[in-house]
Amino acid sequence: MCAKKLCGYGLKNFSRTINEFDILITFVHIKTIPLKLSFTEHTLNFKRPFKIAHGTRSSTPVVIVAITHDGLTGYGEASMPPYLGESHETVIAFLQKAEPLLKSFRDPSEIGVILKEID
């Protein structure tokens, strides 16, 4: 099902904050085919140690996320400083919860409904 203004070719931005992460998703060229989610976990090493009141770190955990629809892929990153209480495990658990819901949608313009279902 296509949103009236987005059927065929269109551009739509959606922004949302989830678990303290700001997400901006832009979809172009809407068709009714499944959305595909993929993600990989990484640890990024800093060139120099990073010092703040919570301590010193030389790396940070991140998860790289990709959503593909009709040959187009959008990429995002979840960076998880330890003082926020998030980790690879919590982000991957969230994405695993989101994946079946995302696959049930065939129209990226329904992202508002998708995010409401995930919350």
Instruction: Answer yes or no: is 37 within a domain.
Output: yes
Q: Which has more confidence, 61 or 16? A: 61
76-100 pLDDT per residue, tens: 998 888 778 888 999 999 888 888 8
Establish if 88 belongs to a structural domain: yes
Q: Model's pTM, two decimal places?
A: 0.62
The C-alpha torsion from 95 through 97 and 98 to 103, rounded to 10°, is: 120
20/56 Cα distance (integer angstroms): 21
Residue 6's pLDDT band (cuts 50, 70, 90): very low
Q: What CA–CA distance (Å, rounded) separates 95 from 101? A: 10
Q: What is the pLDDT of residue 58?
A: 92
For residue range 11-56, list pLDDT tens digits in order. Answer: 455 566 656 655 555 555 444 577 888 999 999 899 999 898 888 9
Total of domains in the chain = 1
Please check whether residue 5 lies inside any domain of the structure: no
* Residue 99 belongs to domain with CATH number: 3.30.390.10
* Cα–Cα distance, 95 to 92 (Å, whole number): 5
